[in-house]
Amino acid sequence: MLDDITFKDPLNTFTGIEKYKLIFWALRFHGKILFREIALDVYRIWQPSENVILIRWNLRGVPRVPWEAKGEFQGTSRYKLDRNGKIYEHKVDNLAFNFPQTLKPVSVLDLVTACPASPNLTFSWGSVDSNSSSWIEFYQAVKDTLDQEEGLLPQDCVATCSW
């Protein structure tokens, strides 16, 4: 991978290898906190052209809520390669969410005690421009703190794994 790799999804664009590593660290971090079980299945890998690799995947999990719930979503990761075969862009698209059609009724108390105070992104510090993100800074601060605590969270399995 090149140092100037760009990651794109429907909501974000990040450039730089350190930000790329950090966003996947943040995904693993949230996965361990928010889900009892979580797994990423790779369904297909193919190369439609010399400079593109496509991966079709499915992410499924059981969230940490007091009622029975499961969720999953599928997507495609498109990796663009330079002349030397190095990845310079990773784009996630074709997202499809598959949630259960029937939900068990729960009390308001269950919802209040099970959910965080805000489902929205509420952290912010410093200025945010097209090349930075307060969330990147926040994740870096959390990662640095955990690294100082001798890695309280395992750092293995970047792409395909089950926790």
User: Residue 47's pLDDT is what?
Assistant: 92
User: Residue 150's pLDDT is what?
Assistant: 56
**Cβ(80)–Cβ(93) below 8 Å:** no
DSSP SS3 for 162: strand
- Answering whether pTM is above 0.75, one says no
* pLDDT for residue 5 is more than 60: yes
Over residues 125-146, the mean pLDDT reads 58
Over residues 98-116, the mean pLDDT reads 51
Summary mean pLDDT of the chain: 74
Rg of the chain in Å (alpha carbons): 18
Q: What letter represents residue 9's amino acid?
A: D
User: Residue 53's pLDDT is what?
Assistant: 94
Angstrom distance (rounded) from CA 159 to CA 128: 28
Phi, psi for 92 (deg, rounded to 5): -100, 125
Per-domain residue ranges for the chain?
Answer: 6-148
User: Residue 133's pLDDT is what?
Assistant: 52
User: Residue 162's pLDDT is what?
Assistant: 42
Angstrom distance (rounded) from CA 91 to CA 126: 27
CATH class name, domain 6-148: alpha beta
Digit-coded pLDDT (tens) for 34-78: 999 999 899 999 999 999 999 999 999 999 988 888 888 899 999
CA 6 to chain centre: 15
Would you state the structure tokens that stand for residue 55, as one six-digit string?
């991966």
